[in-house]
């Protein structure tokens, strides 16, 4: 009899412990009582199903807020980067003849004529060189400098590729805007570019791609 009583006490104690967990922890109660229906009252008058839905909605809301926060931070970061690095447009004061201006249109067009921004990047790069101590003080001398702009002179074919080029109106507008000091779209330290197929250039750091060119710079120029 004593053994039977002890056995009954243990069973009652086990039931009480399980019942306690059921009221204290919803997830524990679900594990302990998988047969309990979802619409039973479980905690503060809410059902298991309601608690699960609330938890899911809370997680979704957190994820959305986190995504929005990251997007906002990226936008602010990009805006700061543009403001900090873009070169201040300066009007080109040296006299440039009508003939030289036509050459400039054609050379820029051959280097990149994918649109306004692509052409603007090329002329911006040329003007950056003009303002650097490393290059000549005249824009046309920068363009004509040996082994620099293959659109002007191609040493492999020993020809002047730009001669028969017909620049687009967007290209012409980009060159005119840059020369007038209205706009540039490159930082002042960007003075080198290659075709977009170049992802790396030994001795240089990559800035980014504009049009069909990839732009590079030297750390010493920053």
Q: Is the pLDDT of residue 60 over 50?
A: yes
Q: What are 51-59's contacts with CB under 8 Å, separation 24+? A: 51/26
Q: Is the pLDDT of residue 69 over 50?
A: yes
Given strand 213-217, what is the order of strands in its sheet?
Answer: 192-195, 213-217, 205-210
Task: Return the pLDDT at 207.
Answer: 94
The string of pLDDT tens digits covering residues 134-191 is: 999 999 999 999 989 999 999 899 999 999 999 999 999 999 999 999 999 999 999 9
SS (H, E, C) the chain: CHHHHHHHHHHHHHHHHHHHHHHHCHHHHHHHCCCCCCCCEEECCEEHHHHHHHHHHHHHHHHHHHHHHHHHHHHHHHHHHHHHHECCCCCCCCCCCHHHHHHHHHHHHHHCCCCHHHHHHHHHHHHHHHCCCCCCCCHHHHHHCCCCCCCCCECCCCECHHHHCCCCHHHHHHHHHHHCCCCCCCECCCCEEEECCCCCCCCCEEEEEECCEEEEECHHHC
Rg for the chain, CA atoms, rounded: 35
Would you tell me which CATH number, out of the four given (1.10.1060.10, 1.10.10.2520, 3.40.50.970, 1.20.1510.10), belongs to the domain 90-221?
1.10.10.2520
Q: Is the pLDDT of residue 73 over 70?
A: no
Bigger pLDDT: 6 vs 205: 205
Cα→Cα distances 33→19, 22, 36, 42, 125, Å: 10, 8, 6, 12, 73
**44 dihedral zone (left: phi>0; alpha: psi -120 to 50; beta):** left
Q: Locate the domains of the chain by residue range.
A: 2-84, 90-221
The string of pLDDT tens digits covering residues 180-221 is: 999 999 999 999 999 988 888 899 999 999 999 999 999 999
pTM for the full predicted model? 0.61
Q: Taking all residues of the chain, what is their mean pLDDT, rounded to a whole number?
A: 80
pLDDT band at 35 (very low <50, low <70, confident <90, very high): very low
Distance CA 117, CA 80 (A): 20
């Amino acid at each position: 009899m004593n053994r039977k009583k002890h056995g009954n006490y243990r069973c009652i104690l086990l039931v009480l412990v399980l019942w306690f967990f059921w009221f204290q922890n919803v997830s524990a109660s679900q594990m302990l009582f998988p047969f309990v229906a979802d619409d039973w009252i479980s905690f503060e008058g809410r059902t298991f199903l309601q608690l699960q839905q609330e938890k899911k909605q809370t997680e979704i809301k957190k994820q959305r807020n986190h995504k929005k926060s990251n997007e906002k931070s990226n936008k602010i970061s990009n805006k700061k980067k543009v403001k900090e690095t873009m070169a201040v447009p300066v009007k080109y004061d040296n006299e440039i003849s009508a003939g030289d201006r036509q050459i400039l249109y054609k050379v820029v067009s051959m280097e990149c004529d994918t649109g306004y921004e692509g052409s603007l990047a090329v002329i911006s790069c040329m003007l950056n060189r003009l303002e650097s101590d490393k290059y000549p003080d005249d824009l046309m001398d920068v363009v004509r400098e040996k082994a620099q702009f293959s659109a002007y002179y191609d040493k492999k074919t020993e020809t002047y590729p730009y001669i028969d080029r017909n620049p687009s109106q967007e290209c012409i507008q980009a060159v005119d805007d840059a020369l007038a000091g209205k706009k540039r779209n490159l930082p002042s330290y960007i003075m080198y570019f290659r075709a977009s197929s170049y992802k790396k250039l030994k001795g240089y750091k990559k800035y980014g791609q504009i049009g069909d060119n990839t732009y590079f710079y030297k750390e010493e120029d920053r």
